Amino acid sequence: MARPTFAPSVRPATRSASAPSRGVWAWALLGGLIGALWATLQWAPAVWVQRAAFAATSGRVVLRDSQGTLWHGSAQLGFTGGTGSSDSARLPGRVQWDLGLGLGGLQLALRADCCTPQAQQLTLTPGLRNWRLQVAAGESTWPAAVLSGLGTPWNTVQLQGPLQLRTPGLTLVSSVDRLSVEGSLSLDMPALSSRLSTLRPLGSYRLQLQGGEQPSLDLRTVEGSLQLQGVGHWTAAHLRFVGEARADTAHEAELSNLLNIMGQRDGARSVITLG
């Protein structure tokens, strides 16, 4: 008698069928998270810029009434003496920005209703322990009165007049303990005056920043009754500036109070030191 034969039993391939299913769901979940993150960033409100500026400057740069998004927005720009300070000043009009991502880093176009005839172009390249800021060639004019919002000594001197800022191009590179500067920048202060003096204007001045192995500042008087001069240098990441202010002989009495406030009085001159 022939022996009976039995066909081997076949189990359903449940494991091989479920593995692709789990993989599909994992990729779908990852895609959903990426999409949600992108949507959040794309429509991030302009108030994020407002909070970032406040935190990065310890409350000295203040944006109010922010409108738009992180990438395309506007706000009112003001300055204060920092957290707890009662001093504040605000630029007239609004400031608009356009922010984008490029191969070189964050690309920023900045415009101010009051002060920039054309948008100022900046590129920020962040790193793990350093950052690089490139400022394209440009010029702008700002009201000196806004400096009073920064607190002492600006709130006392209360300068008035235009501040004309020009650069053919400037690059700042900051590392852990060093700041390097490439390029140059000039600040012209024509017909500058102060509420502390009845003499108007005090004079016209130029402040020049020059890059190099040891970046330097040079302050000089173009013309005027109040004579200002000084030089400054960066050592590592710190600026040290030494200068002096003095009045011409015909206006010593009118400028005496202002000289007392500007620095340490030494006879006819006032010594100014920073850093």
The 10s digit of each residue's pLDDT in 149-192 is 988 888 888 999 999 999 999 999 988 777 889 999 999 999 99
* Domain-wise residue ranges, the chain: 181-274
CA 204, CA 164: separation in Å to the nearest integer? 11
Sign of the C-alpha dihedral computed for residues 208, 111, 71 and 57 taken in this order: positive
Alpha helical stretches, state H, the chain: 14-42, 47-56, 154-157, 252-262
The closest of 98, 206, 103, 193 to 145, measured between CA atoms, is 193
Question: Residue 231: its pLDDT value, please?
Answer: 97
Question: Residue 1: its pLDDT value, please?
Answer: 46
CA 38, CA 41: separation in Å to the nearest integer? 5
Question: Residue 115: its pLDDT value, please?
Answer: 96
Stretches in the chain below the pLDDT threshold 70: 1-43, 237
Question: Residue 21: its pLDDT value, please?
Answer: 66
Question: Residue 41: its pLDDT value, please?
Answer: 57
Asked whether the bond before 153 is cis by omega within 30 degrees of 0, the reply is yes
pLDDT tens, residue by residue, 110-144: 999 999 999 999 999 988 778 899 999 999 999 99
Count of CB atoms situated within 10 Å of the CB of 84 = 7
Question: Residue 202: its pLDDT value, please?
Answer: 96
